[in-house]
Structure 1
C-alpha cells in the first residue's frame, strides 16, 4: 500500500495537502467529488474531526471512503470526544482500513460548536496522543502491554500555530510534539508571513520536520472580516480586505491572494496546507496560478 505523503517527506519534496470537511449526514457524494478533483494535485487530503466542534461524519469512515477511491487521506484525531481506549481502538481500526496518515489534535472547545451542552472528554491532549501513536507503532498499548495482533504503522503529524502570541508557549509545545514523534506539522491559517519566517528561522528549520503553512481561500471582504471576528489568533490585514472589497470579482481576487501566499510559503517552509471551505474545487486553480505543477506519478513502495 502506497504512502505518498511519507515518501514525499522522506524525499524532501515540497508538500501540498488540502482540507475537506466530511458530510453532515449519510451521503458522502459531495466530499468524494471534491476529493477526486484534488487527485494528482496534492500529496494527501485532510479529513477534519469535528472542526470547530461542529457535528460531521466521523473522519475514520470518511477517510476509509477516500482510500477506496485511491485518494490518500490524513485522518484527523481529536481528543475532545474520545478517551484513551476509544482513541487506541480507532487508531488500530484506521490502520486496518488502510489509513496511514493521522493528525493528532487536542480538539476545539465545545462552546464554539453546534452542541455546546455536550460533555468533553479530553482524557489526553495532542502531545500525549502523539506518544500513544508511537507506542502503537512500537507494538504496545498505552499501558505498555503488547499488541498481540501486530503493531500499527501510522505516520503522525501535528498542528502548529506560528502566530501564537506567546513565543515561549509556542516553542514549548512545538518541541514537545517533536519529542513525542510528530513527523510533519500543518499550521493554522497564516496571515503574517513575517512571523512565519521568524518561526522557521528560530524553531521550524531546526526541528528537522516539514512545516506546511496553512493557506486559506478568502472568498470576499465579508469572509475576511468574519474570520477576524471569529477565529482567535488570526488577523487578516486590512490591505487584503480592501483589495478584496475593491475587486470586480472578489472570489477571483481571493484565488490570486491565495496563490501569492503559496508562493511566499515556498520561500519559507517545506509545504502548504490549503483550506478552501466548500470550494475545494478551486484548489487546483490556486496551485496552477502559484506555479505548483501536478504531482509526478508515484513510485510504488509497499508499507504495512
Structure 2
C-alpha cells in the first residue's frame, strides 16, 4: 500500500487522536477549488472526506474526486451511499476504487431525494449503510454479493460508518451502532455535534469498549443566521441559543464561529478519539481552528512507525 493510502489507517492502529475534514465536490467539471481546499488541509488531517451527493444535491462523483485527491498526494475517505446505485454498481465502484488506490470508504445510506435538487429522481436503496458494510467485508474476503469467488483478487477497503449521538431514539442509536460494528465498521464519524453532554453519554454507555475511533463532528458556524438555518433545515441538530447569541452579538461573527469550533475540538479531545471537521466553502479556515484548539499539524507529529504497514485485509 502506498503512503498516500496509509496514514489514516496507520494512525488509527497507533491509537492517535484522529483528525479528518470534509470537502465538497464541484458542481461541474472543474475540480480546482476542491483540490485547493484539500491542499489547505493536507498537513493538518489524517484524511479528507469527499461527500457523495450530500443532501441529495448533484455534485461530481465522490470516487472521481477521491482519485483526484489521491493523485495530489492527499489521502481521501470516499463516501459511498446506497441511495443511487444497485448492488452491481456498488461492487463495481468499490473494485474500481481499490484498483485506483482508494482504500478508505465511509458507507452511508444517503439523504432522502426530496431534500435535494432532483426530487423527481428515482432512489435505489437496494443496500443501506449496514448492508453496504457487510458487502465491503465480503469483497475484502474475495467473495461477491452473490457469494461467488472473485477470480481477480480480494479487495482491501477500510470501511467506516456514520453515527449520530444526538439521535432522539436512544435504543435505535444503540441498535444501529452495534449492527454497524458487527458488520465491519472500523471507524465512526459523527454528525454535527451541538450537545457534548449527549456525546459523553454515548461514549460512556454505547461506544465504551468498542475499540473503534469515534470522530466527533465539528461544524464551523459562520453567523447567527447560519446557525438558525441549520436548526431549521438539518434534522436532529439543535444549536444552543447561547451559541447563537454569541454569534449574533460578535463584532466578527466568522471569527467567533472559529472560536466556538476550536472550543468544541477541545471538548471532543476529552471525550473521544478524534474530530471530523466541517466548514462548508471555508475549508481553508480549518487549519487555523485546529491550531486555536492546540492540535498540531499531523505531519509534524508523524513518525517512521506511522508509515509501517497498517491493517491487512484479514483485520477488516
In structure 1, runs of 5+ residues without a counterpart are: none
Counterpart position of 2:251: 248
TM-score scaled by structure 1?
Answer: 0.99
Mapped partners of 2:8, 2:105: distance in 1: 11
Which residue of 303, 308, 311 corresponds with 1:301?
308
| Residue number among 274, 280, 285 corresponding to 2:283 in the alignment | 280
The one of 165, 169, 187 aligned to 1:162: 165
Q: 2:216 aligns with which of 182, 188, 213?
A: 213
How big is each residue's C-alpha offset from its partner over 1:41-62, in whole Å with a ceiling of 9 and x where there is no partner? 0000000000000000000000
Residues 19-71 of structure 1: CA deviation (Å, up to 9, x unaligned): 00100000000000000011110000000000000000000000000010010
Candidates 181, 192, 196, aligned match of 1:193: 196
Partner of 1:262: 265
Shift of 1:302: 4.9
Following superposition, which runs of at least 4 residues in structure 1 exceed 2 angstroms of deviation? 296-304
1:201 deviates by 0.1
1:53 counterpart residue number: 56
1:298 deviation in Å? 5.6
Q: Does 1:128 align with 2:131?
A: yes
> RMSD of the alignment, in Å?
1.0
**Displacement of 1:208:** 1.5
Report the equivalent of 2:184. Answer: 181
Task: Report SS of the residue matched to 1:198.
Answer: helix
Residue 80 in 1 paired to residue 83 in 2? Answer: yes
1:138 aligned onto 2:138: no
* Number of aligned residues: 304
- Indicate which of 101, 104, 107 corresponds to 1:104: 107
Take 2:208 and 2:274, find their aligned partners in 1: how far apart are those partners? 13
- Asked if structure 1 preserves the Cα contact closer than 8 Å seen for 2:10 and 2:309, the reply is no
Where does the alignment leave 5 or more consecutive residues of structure 2 unmatched?
none
Q: How far 1:207 moved relative to its partner?
A: 1.6
1-structure distance, mates of 2:41, 2:268: 20
Deviation at 1:203, TM superposition (A): 1.1
